Structure 1
């Protein structure tokens, strides 16, 4: 627990102190005993390193002034100790005038002994060791011939020719002094721990902290406050209004009311400030300002969002992951790289399976937002009400089943980064309105809440539908269209990348053969010709699927045309497209091809909200046939 140093004025006292200390039986305490009769002697003999000092009389009084932060406990001289000394004086000397000399603690109550013992006493208080000799000379000149006191007092009296009686400290006083010393040491240790905790909190707080007294004078400035404001420790004691009037602490002192969440400009930067008065018994006796740069708060908010919701918020793909060396794909990548250099919204269009999310991730990872989150959401995968709560979040109690504390929306999670809205064409008119507000105001409001939350998000949208035609048909808001379609990236379909078909197939075939622990297969000339003739309505995604089927189903080391035909069996119109090589264009129409005119196609598209799959189903044809017919009539080009 600690160390106790006891200063004893006479050697016989050591045994009593040691025995009393052992009887108290307090584990963890260390006892150190020093024999000395004065402060000078103590200073010469020992450099103190202790938790508490126990001394008596004038020595204790002097040590209290000299020991600084180390507490000093008086070993009191009890009334019993003085009575014993006076009685010994009566027995040893036939004295008529007796003086009791010592510190205030030693002589307290000594005058009352006159009445008890019917004796005349002179009581003299000695505060300083240097004053003791003159005080005792004065006593001698007044006719006193016996001095009762401590070691120092009796030594001086004997040197001046006076008789002396030494006041010994009884065991009771030693017992209580040791108990008090342990209590004082414990309290001091607790205060030191609290003080160190407080100092550590102040020094390592990321918030600036400045406190003032009732007059507005600064009495504390922590390290963060010095860094933010440019002040130094010399500001302590100066008026806060002269140095930092923006903090408004004098106003808080006058009003007694806290002011929270204010934004001020301090030292050339915006800071969020909280001002709080210190109230005692209804009076403001001081005030505290805590503040932090707004930029730091935003950066910390982004880190917290990422750590809490790290899953799914990372873009893992880059432009290096986009396969292909055809002029069409190289040009598309070059355009996308330029788009990554700015913060404008991007609309990626292209048929299904062309790799819209790969391009979105690549643009994000090549942009200045690469360290921020990447949040992807498929707008067609969720019903309207669920999509709304996912995008914008909700407050606690916003609807039945809402989580306690509410939920952060995807736009909040994407703060400082990018949000990828895939199949944006499927968003309902209601959500289109809310999305437009985000793009215009750069702020969102959670469902069931009235608090506006600013967001810094770049939007990359994607669709395989013609948003312009949807806008003309009234299915997509015109104002939202022009907000989304700032930078347009059109991804080429695989059939327009003839040079990439075979290299891509070889790449994915090797990948899936290795994954399934099968020998790597080659693609024969007839199979290559068939793959080039194929229309690829599913683009690269479909090519990957076919490569995986071939890796599993093709038996020989070389893949031929029959292997290709086998994996395509079951797809409407595809087998005929491969077998009828003489008339590939006609073959692509498939068995369900009918005589369709432009008006019928447009009507079916309109009724299906320009969704190719649903329109094809209405007409009873394949999606490939629909696409071919639309191209023939130059619809959507």
Structure 2
């Protein structure tokens, strides 16, 4: 029985040593299959017969060559090992991949490509790429890296093309290409994962009855395949709630994409939503561009500030919601997607009908399911929990562990009106923690920075302080606790702290024990 044997001959880097090693194979009349060389290594693969002593004889004779140090049995030649690793890598890529030569003949495909074409791998290698792609070989073998849209097996893809270039007589020649196909929704997943950065540290924190009822309603709505309209003041967390609905739905493995309808002019918002075809307008990409409806296919699209959308786009959105078909800008091709629409606004849309600022028929399309998020001032029972949550997150960002907030600070937060709602509270907490030197955020550390608030801060602080004081003893203890907590950062030794405060070491130790500061 004949098999293969592969060895690594490790030796000195001596001129002529490879010739002497090969002479051993010629002397023993052994068929050499493969040879690869690296500095200090000669890799050889040859036929080995289990019934003779070829391998033993080869190793004995090679070890007698001056400069040979040892021989190691290996499984593959280095090039074979690299090829096997590359094959394993390509096979596990989720997108279909094709390697073609200059005539379009398919040289290599991965597992995803085999599944896409629905043929045996051996059958694919007998075919030309133009048998499956809607594009000509001339466009596929362009000298520059390109991304084009094409159809394969009646499915739309974006093809990323990497040409294989050879240099001949100072002239570049395209000798083939590697083509990767990407579905629009896979691009959507990539964008969705990038948008996740906005939600880091963002979660729904609530304990008030009002918000618990809303979260229960959102949980029920997540199981339904119907449009949802979320209303509430700016900063109440409408996008976070929409994201939560998506993550609790059957679409959670698919993209969640969001766009603010107030942030873009009409023409840009239209191309972002519906996409455009090649040459649709000046400056358009040659390959065209999919819109958010395509990228979110199978998932959820969140339309924030829907009340700011122009009447023209309202009409286009209404048409889309009738059967979820649309056309890209500059294209006559109808496309159909499966996407759930969640919209949000801080405006009362039903009051905009009379002035023709918002279409009534679109309102009823979007408002199949409705959630109204109350402002923070109407659910003050959540302020303490939110403040503690934000203080913890802020402490992590400034590399200070065990950050907390005092009861006096929480009472001051609960006394505030919060026109900017949760977003304003979060910004205030993060700013205050970043500037404070203490791990305990006190009432005096809260930095309200709006002009109106700054003007009333002192008055509010005085009112808050008066309402918080129950006795002189309690006020004195609060002062001592805050003072010791702040000065511990600069004077970590109780003895040094006692010297700074001009009291005995025992007094400081007892106070710190009393207030549980150590």
Q: TM-score, normalised by structure 2?
A: 0.54
Equivalent residue number for residue 392 of structure 1: 274
Residue of structure 2 in register with 1:563 after alignment? 445
Q: Deviations over 1:467-500 (max 9, x none)?
A: 1111233210111111011101111221222221
Are 2:388 and 1:509 aligned? no
Gaps of 5+ in 1: 1-26, 30-194, 210-221, 226-259, 262-290, 585-637
Q: CA deviation at 1:362?
A: 1.0
Distance (whole Å) between structure 1 residues aligned to residue 424 and residue 115 of structure 2: 55
Tell me the residue number matched to 1:416.
298
Partner of 2:371: 489
State the Cα distance separating 1:309 from its structure 2 match. 4.3
Q: Does 1:572 align with 2:452?
A: yes
Q: 1:443 to 1:509 in 2, by over 3 A?
A: same
562 and 483 in structure 1: CA distance in 2 versus 1, 3 angstrom threshold: same
Higher relative contact order (CA 8 A, sep 6+): 2
How far apart are the structure 2 equivalents of 1:530 and 1:478?
43
Q: What secondary structure, in the 3-state scheme, does the structure 2 residue paired with 1:321 have?
A: coil
- SS of 2:303's equivalent in the other structure is strand
Partner residue of 1:305? 184
- Structure 1 residue 506, shift from structure 2 partner: 1.6
Distance, in Å, in 2 between the alignment partners of 1:522 and 1:577 is 22
Q: 1:452 to 1:306 in 2, by over 3 A?
A: closer
Contact 2:278/2:285 (<8 A) preserved: yes
Query: 2:507 maps to which residue?
Result: none
Counterpart-to-counterpart distance in 2, 1:563 and 1:388: 46
**Displacement of 1:554:** 2.6
Matched, 1:526 2:405: no
Matched, 1:442 2:337: no
- In 2: Cα distance, 1:388 partner to 1:358 partner: 24
User: Matches of residues 248-267 of structure 1 in structure 2 within 5 Å?
Assistant: none
Displacement of 1:343: 0.6
Task: State the distance in 1 between where 2:322 and 2:400 align.
Answer: 54
Gaps (5+ residues) in structure 2? 1-30, 34-104, 124-131, 134-151, 160-180, 465-518
Compared CA separation, residues 343 and 558, structure 1 to 2 (3 A): same
Quick one: distance in 2 between partners of 1:550 and 1:379?
32
Determine helix, strand or coil for the equivalent of 1:531.
Answer: helix
Alignment of 1:202-241 (within 5 A): 204=114, 206-207=116-117
What residue is the counterpart of 2:478 in the other structure? none
Instruction: Tell me the SS of whatever aligns to 2:225.
Output: coil
Contact 2:222/2:246 (CA < 8 Å) preserved in 1?
A: yes
Alignment root-mean-square deviation, CA: 4.2
Residue 452 of structure 1: how far off its partner (Å): 0.9
- Secondary structure class of the residue paired with 2:329: coil
- Residue 367 (1) aligns with residue 249 (2): yes
Alpha-carbon distance in structure 1 between the residues aligned to 2:321 and 2:221: 18
Q: Deviations over 1:274-297 (max 9, x none)?
A: xxxxxxxxxxxxxxxxx97x9xx6
Deviation at 1:374, TM superposition (A): 1.3
Give the conservation status (yes or no) of the 8 Å contact 2:391–2:405: no
CA, structure 1 residues 358+549, in 2 after alignment: closer, same or farther (shift >3 Å)?
A: same
| TM-score, length-scaled by structure 1 | 0.44
Matched ranges for 1:577-588 at <5 A: 579-580=459-460
8 Å contact kept, 2:185–2:298: no
Q: Secondary structure at the match of 1:399?
A: coil
